[in-house]
Amino acid sequence: MTSLENKPENTSLSKKPSIPRFGSSSNSMYKYISAKFYHPKTRFEDLQGLSFNKSGDCDLIQANSKFIAVPISGPGGRVGIINAKKPGRLPTHLPSVLCNSEVTNFKFNPFNENILVTVSDDNKIRVWEIPEEGIRDDVAEPKHSFGAGSMDKVHLIEFHPTSENVLLSTSDDFGHPTVRIWSLDTQKEEIIIKDQHKDVIFSCAWSLDGTQIATTTKEKKLRILDARTGDLIAEGASHNSIRPSRLVWLNKDRIISVGFGLGSAREVLLFDTKNLSKPIAKKQIDISPSVMSVYFDPDCQVLFVAGRGDRTIHTYHVSDDELITLAKIEGTTLQQGFAFLPKRTCNVRDIEIDHFYRLTPNSIEPVGVRVPRARPEYFQDDIFVPTSDIEHPAQDAASWFSGENKQTELISLQPEDMTPLSNAPPPPSQAQSKAKFEMGKKFV
């Protein structure tokens, strides 16, 4: 991978294809997307004691290139830590960090793979530092533990997308839902956003540049707030249900919410961030009561939606304000969630556009998402565009809280020994046809 000069964010989605003479106008280059389930020897088998009692706003698996974390049932608020480099049969007693009370959420630091942050029913935020080789025994002493006196029922945490050690948390605070932004360097709440929400906050997501925050609430509202001042930028109606929903930003102008309509109808809503009065696109997934996990690939503009307890992962290509349904990813066992890894972990030689772990009740399976192409020997530079280096921060916490907005660099995924498809010679059949055409012109 090579670093590229930082470029301004691409605020437009891919161009709308011209209507073909025959066939559908909703064709997508990812139409035949498929999944490769890796060899059983790469799986983590015999997972015991997975905790299923987490709320819909908590993903049951978090992962990076070094570690995998899953909640484990039992007293003490356990989060099991698995060394991602050692697949195979897991121990009966999975080494865990102990949070003293029921864990409500947990996340790895995207800029430091050895740092895990947990929140629990005792309203404490704990920061755990995991050794390079993982942990062999239970760990009860975190690196840091902090909170606020008025904080109650903390259930969401999100790391800033570009700045190191900036953490967002949401809590109910005895009927006064509050968003706090913490500095992990000082373990202090630097920003408190109150009085903007009237009911429980279901989901919260940073904008890609880290200057805005989007939230959905039990009052069926979608809001966009200024991350530093807490000022309301936009507000509109969300899903017509009081069940949990999930948010992902596509770019600074578009945001997607995945949740429930009437009668357990699971749906995807696409919004213009400047006008939240109504969605600009809507797609019903199916009818099911299970809560969903969501991931959006900003490079390929592909959305992944997985229901807890389903076998299917639904995929959609977002193109020019349209949600194009792609092929489903079908598993043989029931899934409890997924965790996507950074783009650099993808095998670009096999045209693997995404790589993730799929959690089942008793195992963790690595899965690759692939796109069939006619000339796989070339680097597919139309698919593997320069991608954001999400593993290295653009700035530290102090500079962000002082008002600076720096963006992460772009990196190339092209291997040194592969030629870009855009520079490849025409295929033999095309060259032969051209030669015949040129020969024919001589006789005209």
pLDDT at 442 over 80: no
Instruction: Please give the backbone phi and psi of residue 45, each rounded to the nearest 5 degrees, phi first.
Output: -100, 165
Per-residue pLDDT tens digits for 331-370: 999 999 999 999 999 999 999 999 999 999 999 999 999 9
Q: Distance between CA 310 and CA 313 in Å, rounded? A: 8
User: Mean pLDDT throughout 412-433?
Assistant: 86
* Choice among 38-52, 155-169, 211-225, 420-434 with the minimum mean pLDDT: 420-434
Q: What is the pLDDT of residue 433?
A: 66
Q: Distance between CA 165 and CA 187 in Å, rounded? A: 10
Q: In the chain, what's the furthest Cα-to-Cα distance? A: 90
pLDDT at 398 over 70: yes
pLDDT at 21 over 50: no
Per-residue pLDDT tens digits for 399-419: 999 999 999 999 999 999 999
By CB atoms closer than 10 A (0-12, 13-18, 19+), residue 251 is middle
Query: End-to-end distance of the chain based on CA atoms, in angstroms?
Result: 51
Q: What is the pLDDT of residue 1?
A: 59
Per-residue pLDDT tens digits for 280-319: 999 999 999 999 999 999 999 999 999 999 999 999 999 9
The gap from C-alpha 103 to its chain's centroid, in whole angstroms, comes to 21
Mean pLDDT of the chain: 92
pLDDT at 195 over 70: yes
CB neighbours of 276 closer than 8 A, spacing ≥ 6? 222, 223, 224, 234, 235, 236, 237
pTM of the model: 0.91
Beta strands at 67-72 and 144-146: parallel, antiparallel or unpaired:
unpaired
Spatial CA neighbour of 160 closest among 425, 439, 412, 408:
408
Question: What does the block give as tokens for 298?
Answer: 């900003």
Percent of the chain at pLDDT exceeding 90: 86
Per-residue pLDDT tens digits for 321-331: 999 999 999 99
For residues 157 and 119, the answer to whether their CB atoms sit within 8 Å is yes
pLDDT at 20 over 80: no
State the DSSP string of 138-154.
-B---SEEE--TT---E
Question: What does the block give as tokens for 111?
Answer: 């800029």
pLDDT at 16 over 80: no
CB neighbours of 176 closer than 8 A, spacing ≥ 6? 194, 195
164 vs 443 pLDDT, higher one:
164
User: Mean pLDDT throughout 164-180?
Assistant: 96
Q: What is the pLDDT of residue 427?
A: 84
Spatial CA neighbour of 128 closest among 141, 137, 119, 138:
141
Q: What is the pLDDT of residue 75?
A: 87
Percent of the chain at pLDDT exceeding 70: 91
Instruction: Please give the backbone phi and psi of residue 158, each rounded to the nearest 5 degrees, phi first.
Output: -145, 130
pLDDT at 178 over 80: yes
User: Which residue's structure tokens are 């629990």?
Assistant: 120
Q: What is the pLDDT of residue 120?
A: 96
For residues 167 and 182, the answer to whether their CB atoms sit within 8 Å is yes
